[in-house]
Structure 1
């Protein structure tokens, strides 16, 4: 069994087993590879201190819902087809790409896959000094997640695709690139032909607001539901109410909400509407009707005072009593 010992003296050291490291002339990595990690355990008081933290997709505060059909499609892409394939998953910011990718990662890990994340090196938050063991011995397959792929230089992406991590002939490998646009995809796709990579793109459409789904099927052989677009907004909104209310320690608010405006096709907009509702309920303020655009919701989320929100139990987010109740902007 091979091992690797990495030591840094007055700087940062990073090593990998089972993959390559590509660096600039000064030693800075073009990108950093890490084993995918599930959502961390979260301190509820830390979340309530600044409620907008609950919107971080990587924290998975809200149960995954509303993108079941895309999970089926991505699951099939992972488990079928040629050995090496790349997909450009694109949609506007807040559409739910990151959460969908991490849910796919979770499902594949449960099926025995190795999942690795790639982060562009310059300016990125690097992993703790030490080694990343990326060997996929005994794995059913390998999934490489690349977030913000449209911000990567083309040369860095082409180097990434040449990494030995992806070129084990006995192991299916998939590269899922998340992006807001397709502007840089044609050039990358053309470059992949030389490496015999099967390339495809998948737009992430807005959430629909229609009838409830009526059928289910496992995503790529895993768990999930087809028809996930129908009633997607309301289903996601209810899940968000449950998730946020649990972090506040209160029952979820009830009542109907109007999510028909096209801007609520964004998963983030639906989550913000739910967070505004739960925070208002928890603090005893009148529940506002969601504004017609995410910018208005963002303004309300941004107006939450840090460390001073309170629940209907009479306790503040920081544990203070009812005395000295802060005022909240509308």
Structure 2
């Protein structure tokens, strides 16, 4: 586009999306394979909204807990970014809850402060619609471009191949880095072979468990998270709030586990609740708070002066099933969400159910009108799925409808992509918790052949 030109995106119906300074790859029906957006500083939610459902503070996109404990990993990323190759890609992987997203966000923020243009790539078909307007991705005076791809192991290889061919990544003389986040290294060899076609330097970075060898890494992370959470509860000095269990236990090798321990400890102190003593108890404590939130929103209409004026109408029992379904589908367009509820026999109240679910779990990106936003963090959603399914011995009520709901959602025609099968695997808190499988990807329309 010539200097001084202006791009206008005009939409008669459906959606519109434009990108200046980058390619757009779409299906035959115009749905983008992926969305490119400039990285933005995350917004800070209202404290009262966070306190309604404490697990919201664990969502990495809100960055409630101060970054700490991964300085060595961060230094390695900086060293990789500043290395000599013009084009380099790194596969950053570790189990859910290990801190990949938060580490990448900190790396993105520091890179942006140091003059890099930071862009995120979100896999698009079947799950999201583009935000209106366009993204100006021209690299004015940029020191380099850093592209961050979350859930990279869930992308079909052909879609990653198209992404890697984007002109944005191939500007002569422009240092370019691609950071791909994944849970395992299983799909990396095929991705690496694709990157070889672009003569890209490639490397992996496995995010190791937090050290338990006396390095104080876990204790420092707990203290930092405890102080961050205590601020929202109005606790001026939380230093006398101990961990609910010894942090050197193997369960606390995950960043999320340490943050959960800090959050539950602070919440229990603020509410006068009994503090659980193990990892399964921490999970159940937070899920109980979800149920309490649904119950408070629903209230008791029989004791209201004007029940007809209520806006939130979904009972906690029904919301439990909707949240379960959302943990499997992930965020989807409204018609897909309504179809999912119809498949579950809930079609008679679908608009009300989707609206009420959106009160509890609003879209991650307000500019993208999706429904059925899942419970976060992912690991907590996976625990919720496993504990809701029958077959475990944990002190949490299994739901008799859960197996049929899971089968319906994962085999329905409305589940169209790997992202729609939101949950890949489940942490086992009891040794006897079933895992939930992942549906095979089904794109909305045939993808273009890779370049």
Cα distance between partner residues in 1 of 2:187 and 2:262: 34
1:265 is matched with 253
Alpha-carbon distance change, 275 to 123 in structure 1, aligned in 2, over 3 angstroms: farther
Contact 1:34 1:127 in 2 (8 A): no
Written as runs of structure 1 = structure 2, the 5 A alignment for 1:1-330 is: 1-211=4-214, 230-251=215-236, 252-257=238-243, 258-289=246-277, 291=278, 293=279, 295-304=280-289, 305-306=292-293
Cα distance between partner residues in 2 of 1:98 and 1:274: 19
The Cα of 1:255 is off from its aligned counterpart by 4.3
Q: 1:266-313 CA distances to partner (integer Å, 9 max, x unpaired)? A: 011111111110110111224333x0x3x43221111112186xxxxx
Cα distance between partner residues in 1 of 2:12 and 2:86: 41
The structure with the largest helix share of the pair is 2
The Cα of 1:162 is off from its aligned counterpart by 0.4
Q: 1:234-292 CA distances to partner (integer Å, 9 max, x unpaired)? A: 11111111111111122325244311111211011111111110110111224333x0x
Q: CA RMSD in A?
A: 1.6
Contact 1:55 1:271 in 2 (8 A): yes
Instruction: Tell me the secondary structure at the aligned position of residue 5 of structure 1.
Output: coil
Cα distance between partner residues in 1 of 2:15 and 2:63: 30
Contact 2:19 2:136 in 1 (8 A): yes
Instruction: Tell me the secondary structure at the aligned position of residue 3 of structure 1.
Output: coil
Contact 1:39 1:60 in 2 (8 A): yes
Q: 1:161-216 CA distances to partner (integer Å, 9 max, x unpaired)? A: 000010011210000000001111101101211110111111000011344xxxxx
1:215 is matched with none
TM-score, normalised relative to structure 2: 0.62
The Cα of 1:110 is off from its aligned counterpart by 0.4
Alpha-carbon distance change, 149 to 239 in structure 1, aligned in 2, over 3 angstroms: same
1:316 is matched with none
Instruction: Tell me the secondary structure at the aligned position of residue 9 of structure 1.
Output: coil
Q: Which has the higher contact order (CA 8 A, sep 6+)?
A: 1
TM-score, normalised relative to structure 1: 0.84
Q: Which runs of 5+ in 1 are unaligned?
A: 212-229, 309-328
Cα distance between partner residues in 2 of 1:98 and 1:177: 10
1:218 is matched with none
Instruction: Tell me the secondary structure at the aligned position of residue 78 of structure 2.
Output: helix
The Cα of 1:141 is off from its aligned counterpart by 0.8
Cα distance between partner residues in 1 of 2:110 and 2:92: 18
The Cα of 1:41 is off from its aligned counterpart by 2.4
Cα distance between partner residues in 2 of 1:209 and 1:2: 57
Contact 2:90 2:178 in 1 (8 A): yes
Contact 1:253 1:278 in 2 (8 A): no
Alpha-carbon distance change, 282 to 150 in structure 1, aligned in 2, over 3 angstroms: same
